[in-house]
Amino acid sequence: MSGDGAAGEREERRASVPFAHPSEEDFARILDFYGVTWEYEPQSFTLREEDGRVAEAFTPDFFLPGLDLYIELTTLKQSLVTDKHRKLRMFQERYPDKQIKLLHKSDYLSLLAKYGFGPFSEVEVEGIHEVLISASQIEQRVEELGAQISRDYRGQEPLLIGVLRGVMCFMADLMRHISLPVVVDFMAISSYESTEPGSVRIVKDLEEPLEGRDVIVVEDIVDTGMTLNTLLQQLAERKPASLKICALLDKRARRLADMPIDYVGFEIPDEFVVGYGLDFQQKYRNLPFIATLKRDWLSAHLKTQERPE
Ligand code: IMP
Ligand code: MG
């Protein structure tokens, strides 16, 4: 999990690669944007031999180790495309265990979307700096959290409480990875910044009684911890049998009110993040990954010092 440093490193690395074609550099930039690791022209494969010598070889443009996939980019020139198709056929015949894809520029995005790395239609989302946690990283971690909760609560029927609205994606995915009977309920709160920091008002209360139940408060992100701290005190008054916290993101560096968080998805640096339910001024919740916002963009749009809910 990294901020500007990682983006800078990736940019530097990209600048040091002798790309043969600008479209290759574009493709590398898209891969970097989505946090997909890549190697450029990783290796040459022999396609044909004559008298024991290599008569024809093929070097795919990219290898994506995480997907175990070679990528060959196409140009618009029909003569070259035909030749590439021929080489790819030979490659697949000789190396049937290797996966390769021929990609036209318009195919990049749908390929990335297929592997969960991005939205379907946009490469650059306005204001987004970089992807901090990719969709597949989220998926894997949420699955682990669900499995852990299923083990810890074996024989019980936990009540999952989500704090709206940021938690919607996380809750929807997490509950499907809990292999126990669960009950789900939601509440909405708003914070009074003007009065006492961390004081919260319940805007929408729970439908479920808490008394005697095993409650897990599911949160998108714990930042200062002030909201959660006050909320937990209020929930504890309702006498649950147990009360635990599961947060997808933990911005520990900013913690003011300290409390144990029983289940944490990812610890993240002190950066404002959006996506996968998290918003900035109600936008970006539908991004399938978690991304940081550009600092200058963020400050330009922070007309008031109000904190998003
Ligand atoms: P806390 O009381 O400071 O812990 O604030 C927690 C709430 O602030 C979270 O439930 C979020 O709704 C919001 N929040 C804090 N940090 C971020 C962020 O980086 N992106 C989006 N929302 C955030
Ligand atoms: Mg929230």
Q: Which of left, alpha, beta for 281 (phi over 0: left; psi -120 to 50: alpha)?
A: left
**Between residues 286 and 8, the one the model is more confident about:** 286
Catalytic residue flag (residue 223): yes
Helices (H), 118-216: 135-152, 168-175
Mutate to test the pocket of ligand 1, among 203, 278, 284 (most ligand atoms within 8 A of CB): 278
Report whether pLDDT(196) > 90.
no
Question: Looking at residue 121, what is its pLDDT?
Answer: 43
What tens digit of pLDDT does each residue of 86-130 get? 999 999 999 999 999 888 766 776 666 655 555 544 456 788 888
Question: Looking at residue 44, what is its pLDDT?
Answer: 94
* Token pair for 7: 């983006």
E strand or H helix that includes residue 28: helix 22-33
Question: Looking at residue 167, what is its pLDDT?
Answer: 97
Using an 8 Å Cβ cutoff, are 100 and 72 in contact? yes
**Between residues 75 and 39, the one the model is more confident about:** 39
Question: Looking at residue 125, what is its pLDDT?
Answer: 75
What tens digit of pLDDT does each residue of 49-93 get? 999 899 999 999 999 998 899 999 886 667 777 888 899 999 999
Ligand nearest to the CA of 193: 1
Q: Which residues of 40-61 are buried (b: 16+ CB within 10 A; e: fewer)?
A: beeeebebeeeeeeeeeebebb
Report whether pLDDT(278) > 70.
yes
How large is the average pLDDT for residues 137-157?
96
Confidence band, pLDDT 50/70/90 cuts, at residue 3: very low
Question: Looking at residue 54, what is its pLDDT?
Answer: 92
Strands (E), the chain: 39-40, 45-50, 53-58, 62-64, 69-73, 99-103, 128-133, 159-164, 183-191, 200-204, 214-222, 242-250, 263-267, 273-274, 290-293
Distance of alpha carbon 94 from alpha carbon 91, whole angstroms? 5
Confidence band, pLDDT 50/70/90 cuts, at residue 193: low
Question: Looking at residue 130, what is its pLDDT?
Answer: 82
Mutate to test the pocket of ligand 1, among 223, 226, 255, 292 (most ligand atoms within 8 A of CB): 223
The whole-chain average pLDDT of the chain stands at: 86
Q: How far is the CA of 250 from the centre of ligand 2 (A)?
A: 12
Confidence band, pLDDT 50/70/90 cuts, at residue 264: very high
* Token pair for 119: 């939205």
Phi, psi at residue 109, to the nearest 5°? Answer: -65, -40
Confidence band, pLDDT 50/70/90 cuts, at residue 209: very high
